[in-house]
Structure formats: structure tokens, C-alpha cells
Amino acid sequence: MREPEGRLATIDTGPPRLGRGDVLHAGRRLAGRVWRTPVVRSDQLDALSGARLWLKAENLQRGGSFKVRGALLALERLAASGSRGVVAQSTGNHAIAVALAAREHRLPTTVVLPSDAAPTKVRRIRETGAEVRLVGTVLAERVAVVEELRERHGYDVVDPYDDPLVVAGQGTATAELISQVAEAGGRLDTVVVPIGGGSAIAGACLAAAGHDVAVVGAEPEAVPAFTAALDAGRPVTVPLRYTLADGLRPDRIGDLPFRLAQGRVSTVLEVAEAAIADALRAALLHARLLVEPAAATALAAAMSFAAEHGGDVGVLLTGGNVEPALVSSLLAGHGTGVPRTAMH
């Protein structure tokens, strides 16, 4: 992958020189190219949590997740530098986002997915015209194919986490949320963001800087990669366990996101699987939004946090790419209530 250009080229050593200005700049570049997704209120969720929740509905974003923001910026950079094509590996939203963004620049695109990837996601990627390679089931196998494509075709790799443009792009979702709440006459006390590879939480930290908004992270109890990194003082690999939140399965937080988020995240909540399922149902039945389990993880944490602390709590609902069969089975199950979470 080419080095990031200009002011961003210095971030690879020492503390990252990435700030709120980069998010604002990214927001100007993205204007008119992504939906300015709505911030949704729900009387019912407010009543359940005893606070005011402001739901940033990135499940309604192009490609079904906030990841198109960073991907558009990364592809814009690559296209300007004469890229011959791009390759990305992912289990989901990053691949969809890269495929969508690459299509705008008419760049040949190959995405490498595990052979058991969700059919819905594979179909969405194929609809963009991108080539899909289904390879093995573990990360190392996919990375090997990415390397092969990079070397054989001279393709550029679009990293989902460790790329300052991607992080700044993802931060625009939180920046919009803060602005939209202000436009509606409110003022956020807290924003709750899910943690997988870390681009969302790192972007949120950048966007919240100078706003007196506390940033709360939410990760599955099953894969507490950020909590483990905080304990170790550096990113570490945690044992991979199953979680409903497929978007939060990365077993290690990215280096750049960790450096940006460490010391700025005020609280991390670990969310139990049952609470993720409850929150997905609550989003659907009370806020009438279809969200994916990663976004439901943030909602579960937000409702727990809000019930304890009150105030105005923003929630980054990162995406809505979820298998219909999962939703069907969750709806056929038991009712919703305040999700249960364990405070870290």
C-alpha cells in the first residue's frame, strides 16, 4: 500500500498526529457522497433507559454501514495516485464499502472473504461488480491471497483499521451525530461506539475532542480485545470466541486505533451475547430500525450506561447488514427489555 500523503504521512511513528481537523476535513470531502444519515429518537427506548438516546442511524448508510466513509476517502487517494486496482480482505462491511467506493473510480476490485461468509454480504459485493474470492476460514489464509494479488497484479491493499484516512473518515459519523444533536437543540454528554478493529472508536475519539463528550466503548464480552489491550498497554491478541456480533470479531485492535483511543475512552462496557440479541430486537421493535449485531452491542451498552448515568447519550449504530434468518429467529424468541451488560 502506498504511504499516506501530506500531513498524514507522519503518523507511523510516535503519537499519532491525527486530530479533529482531519475528521472535519474528511467530512467536507464526503459531503454529498454519503448519506447524512438521520439521528433517530425513540420515546420507547428513552422510557426503557430513563435517559435521552440519540441514535445515529448508519444502518441507513450507503452499503449498509458507516464503513463506506473511510473507504471512499481511501479509494479517492488511491485513484489519484494512479492505482491499478484494489484488494481488501474482510468478513463483511469493509469489503462491501471498498467494493462500492472502488466502483465509483472504476478500479478493478477483488475482495477476499472466508468461504463461510454471510450470503447476504457476498451478494451485495457481487452486485457492485467486484470480484469475490472465497478463501478458507481463517485470517491468515485470506491475507496470503491478498498478498498474492498485490504482488501479481500490483493491486493496492485497503486496510480496514490501520489507515489514518480510514479512521478520519469513520470519525465523520460521530462528528455528524454531535452536530445533528446540537442542531436539534440538544447536547450530548456521552457517545457510545462499538469496538472491533477500532476504526469507529478511534474516529469517535477524534470527533469528540474539544466537545466535552465522553466516549464510551462497547465490545462483546466474548472478544474483549480493547479491554485486553488497555490492560497490556498495547494491542494483544485475545482468544477467539464466538459472538453474535460478527463485525466485532477481530481478535486484536489495530495499532493506530489503539494509540488514538487509549487514554481518551472513558469507559469500556463488555456486553453479553443475550444483551446483544435483546438490543437488536429493541432497535427493531421500539426504534423500528434494522441494525446488525455490532450496532446492537453499542445500543445494549448505551441503554445500560444511560440507565445508570442518565443524560443525553448518543449511540453509533454502525450498520444494518444482518442475515434475515437471524432476525427471524430473534423475533421468534423471547421479548425485549433493558439489555444486561457487565461494566468493566
Positions in the binding site for its own copies (CB under 8 A) = 35, 37-38, 40-43, 47, 57, 59-60, 62-64, 120, 127, 281, 284-285, 287-291, 320, 324-325, 327-329, 331-332
Q: Which is nearer to its own copies, 182 or 331 (CB)?
A: 331
Shortest distance, position 37 Cβ to its own copies, whole Å: 8
Q: Which is nearer to its own copies, 203 or 320 (CB)?
A: 320
Shortest distance, position 77 Cβ to its own copies, whole Å: 23
- The burial of 210, by beta-carbon neighbours within 10 Å (0-12 exposed, 13-18 middle, 19 or more buried), is given as exposed
Q: Which is nearer to its own copies, 70 or 320 (CB)?
A: 320
Shortest distance, position 62 Cβ to its own copies, whole Å: 6
Q: Which is nearer to its own copies, 8 or 57 (CB)?
A: 57
83's CB contacts (< 8 A; 6+ apart) are 2, 107, 155, 156
Shortest distance, position 297 Cβ to its own copies, whole Å: 17
Shortest distance, position 110 Cβ to its own copies, whole Å: 22
65's CB contacts (< 8 A; 6+ apart) are 58, 59, 93, 96, 97, 247, 292, 318, 319, 320, 321
Q: Which is nearer to its own copies, 82 or 185 (CB)?
A: 185
What does the angle CA 297 – CA 298 – CA 304 come to, to the nearest 5 degrees? 95
Query: Would strands 52-57 and 39-40 be described as parallel, antiparallel, or unpaired?
Result: antiparallel
Q: Which is nearer to its own copies, 187 or 288 (CB)?
A: 288
Question: For 232, phi and psi rounded to 5 degrees?
Answer: -85, -15
Shortest distance, position 328 Cβ to its own copies, whole Å: 4
Shortest distance, position 239 Cβ to its own copies, whole Å: 32
Sequential DSSP letters for 73-134: HHHHHHHHTT---EEEE-SSHHHHHHHHHHHHTT--EEEEE-TT--HHHHHHHHHTT-EEEE
Encoded amino acid at 310, one letter:
G
Contact yes or no for 225/239 (Cβ under 8 A):
no
Instruction: Report how far residue 176's alpha carbon sits from residue 190's, in angstroms, rounded to the nearest whole number.
Output: 14
